[in-house]
């Protein structure tokens, strides 16, 4: 728009504008070109400045994103706090319900488990579950048992007898006795179902109560199998509980002792070398086994709680006194006691 003083273009008689080589016609044309810009209220200088510094726009956008992220983070942290508070209240309610359930069930619960037939063993109908709490046991009449015992003493060598419900090819009447349990598991029950039935006791132990789980029965009835699987699942559950307590700022420490009762004597299965003298101390505040080796286990232990407890149990099992019986080549001839102090 900046013209020159060229008479051939504008003519010598044309009026010049402010001595800058612009005629009046040029001035009018420039005024018409600028008037729409003035009408919009925009500033050419501002527009040119904005285009000259694009990094200012990027900085503003980044600041906005950072502010939004901070707001979202604050909202998420507030939601986590609310959920943690709800979890704490729910856990307290669960403990109250657990205590009420234990009071209703009583301090002692008796559960029965029917072992499935092992290899080479035929199934028998002398044990018949009658629901989830009743067990019917069929036995021979006492008079028949007395007669067989007398006959066997008069016959040299071994004598095999028919089944409990068959004598001379004919069915015999069986005596029936009914036994009641708090819980009864048939031969199809899994180890997970057994553990679920005693999980409340484990929760009570973590809460600070003294709990004892005792398995008893005849040789070959499956006590070692049941207790070993319960121990493994209890160790996994304790590891889960330790992780949950860690989120609340608490640390679960476990002290374990492993002994056996053999010939009315206490033997420490974790002791190396000479056996220490063990003494059981019983007082109003509780009981303690003095002199036994203790092993400390935490969630920070090598492999975690479950792996370390499993290792301790394997070491103890290898030290137990075992002998062959008519049912098992290696049968435990002692009582294994595993004590966990939480």
Q: Which residue in this structure is represented by tokens 């006194």? A: 321
Q: Which two tokens stand for residue 47?
A: 């527009």
Q: pLDDT digit string (tens) for 298-321?
A: 888 777 888 888 888 888 888 887
Higher confidence at residue 194 or residue 249? 194
Judge whether 316 and 269 are in contact, CB under 8 Å. yes
Q: pLDDT digit string (tens) for 131-170?
A: 889 998 888 776 555 555 555 444 434 333 344 444 444 4
According to DSSP, residue 278 is labeled P
Q: Which residue in this structure is represented by tokens 């499993």? A: 310
Q: Which two tokens stand for residue 248?
A: 């609340």
Query: Would you give the distance in Å from CA 98 to the centre of its chain?
Result: 18
CA distance 230 to 107: 20
Instruction: State residue 334's pLDDT score.
Output: 79
Say if residue 232's pLDDT is above 50. Answer: yes
For residue 50, CA distances in Å to 33, 61, 98, 171, 282 come to 22, 15, 69, 107, 87
Question: What is the chain's mean pLDDT, rounded?
Answer: 75
Closest CA to 234 of 296, 192, 294: 192
Instruction: State residue 168's pLDDT score.
Output: 42
CA-CA-CA-CA torsion for 319, 323, 329, 331, nearest 10 degrees? -70
Judge whether 127 and 134 are in contact, CB under 8 Å. no
Q: Which two tokens stand for residue 119?
A: 């290899």
Q: Which two tokens stand for residue 251?
A: 């640390």
Q: Can you point out the beta strands (E) in 263-334?
A: 265-268, 279-283, 286-290, 295-298, 322-323, 331-332
Q: Considering the chain, what percentage of its residues have pLDDT values greater than 70?
A: 70
Q: Is 82 helix (H, G, I), strand (E, B) or coil?
A: helix
Q: Which two tokens stand for residue 160?
A: 């095999």
Q: pLDDT digit string (tens) for 15-74?
A: 444 444 555 665 565 555 555 544 444 444 444 444 546 666 777 878 888 888 888 999
Q: pLDDT digit string (tens) for 90-116?
A: 878 877 887 787 777 778 889 999 888
Say if residue 12's pLDDT is above 90. Answer: no
- Size of the chain, expressed as the number of residues it contains: 342
* Whole-structure pTM value: 0.60
Judge whether 84 and 92 are in contact, CB under 8 Å. no
CA distance 145 to 151: 10
Higher confidence at residue 282 or residue 14? 282
CA distance 119 to 329: 14
Instruction: State residue 48's pLDDT score.
Output: 46
CA distance 221 to 327: 10
Q: Tell me phi and psi for residue 179, to 5 degrees.
A: -120, 145
According to DSSP, residue 112 is labeled E
Q: Which two tokens stand for residue 29?
A: 């044309």
Judge whether 177 and 136 are in contact, CB under 8 Å. yes
Q: Tell me phi and psi for residue 171, to 5 degrees.
A: -70, 140
Instruction: State residue 91's pLDDT score.
Output: 78
Judge whether 186 and 195 are in contact, CB under 8 Å. no
């Amino acid at each position: 728009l900046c013209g020159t003083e060229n008479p051939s273009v504008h003519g010598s008689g044309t009026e010049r504008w402010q001595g800058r080589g612009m005629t009046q016609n040029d001035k009018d044309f420039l005024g018409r070109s600028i008037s729409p810009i003035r009408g919009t209220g925009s500033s050419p200088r501002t527009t040119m400045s904005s285009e000259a510094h694009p990094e200012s726009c990027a900085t503003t956008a980044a600041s906005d994103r950072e502010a939004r992220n901070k707001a979202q983070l604050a909202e998420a942290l507030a939601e986590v706090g609310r959920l943690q508070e709800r979890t704490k209240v729910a856990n307290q309610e669960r403990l109250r319900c657990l205590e009420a359930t234990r009071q209703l069930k009583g301090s002692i619960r008796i559960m029965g488990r029917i072992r499935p037939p092992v290899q080479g063993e035929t199934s028998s109908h002398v044990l018949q579950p009658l629901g989830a709490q009743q067990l019917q046991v069929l036995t021979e009449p006492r008079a028949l048992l007395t007669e067989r015992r007398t006959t066997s003493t008069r016959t040299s060598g071994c004598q095999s007898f028919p089944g409990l419900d068959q004598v001379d090819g004919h069915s015999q009447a069986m005596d029936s006795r009914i036994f009641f349990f708090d819980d009864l598991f048939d031969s199809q029950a899994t180890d997970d179902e057994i553990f679920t039935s005693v999980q409340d006791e484990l929760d009570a132990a973590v809460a600070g109560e003294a709990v004892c789980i005792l398995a008893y029965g005849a040789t070959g009835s499956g006590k070692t199998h049941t207790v070993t699987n319960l121990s493994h699942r209890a160790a996994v559950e304790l590891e889960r509980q330790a992780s949950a307590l860690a989120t609340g700022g608490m640390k679960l420490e476990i002290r374990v002792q492993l002994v056996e009762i053999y010939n009315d004597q206490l033997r420490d299965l974790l002791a190396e070398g000479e056996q220490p003298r063990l003494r059981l101390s019983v007082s109003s505040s509780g009981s303690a086994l003095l002199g036994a080796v203790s092993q400390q286990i935490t969630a920070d232990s090598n492999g975690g709680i479950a792996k370390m407890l499993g290792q301790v149990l394997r070491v103890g099992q290898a030290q137990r006194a075992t002998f062959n019986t008519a049912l098992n080549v290696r049968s435990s001839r002692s009582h294994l006691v595993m004590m966990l102090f939480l």
